[in-house]
Structure 1
């Protein structure tokens, strides 16, 4: 899982994005954000896995396996801002909205201390200026 996505990330403008890789790509972006711009957001892997489980209707084991795959993709992904920009062009808005909603629900359940980060994370996934983004990179 994620091998094609890792190759695509090496040169995202050379080939179309496979929409089937969207869940893994969004998960990897969230991991990247939580390790850089929002350090400490997921002190426990279970919180990150809860986002994946809620968004993609996964069991705990499936979410854990997906987290591991997301970690492999995140390890080769570009910096957070570049990664977010690439995915805002490649991943459909409805996929990004569903992921952002799941993230909101999990972080609100964890507690209000996470609330200041919700807006920043929403912009990261939904695109603060999506109207100015060039044409999508998705397969057509």
Structure 2
């Protein structure tokens, strides 16, 4: 009878421990906030303001430069970040895609692809 009681007590203890533990919060960068996005192309470096709204791995927001404002969407998987938008330049739509990484210091950097017009680089730093 004591063995049965001890076994039942152990089973209850395991059940309580399993119920009281919460799953770990996914770890990864929090990109929410305001950023300065610097895009480098054959025409030189261009700065833009970028807002980021992150929900899990989904990114959305707005990029604002001297050419105007455009909404974008993107993803964050681990430290890999990707986002893009289409901008109208003199009556022609140009798709710009960014892909890169979130660095240990919290900045983003990677490649920018300008449709069929080539590619460049980008960096993004939080506004302070």
Radius of gyration: which is bigger? Answer: 2
TM bracket, shorter-chain basis: under 0.3
Higher strand share: 2
Bigger relative contact order, structure 1 or 2 (CA pairs below 8 A, ≥6 apart): 1
Task: Tell me the TM-score normalized by structure 2.
Answer: 0.24
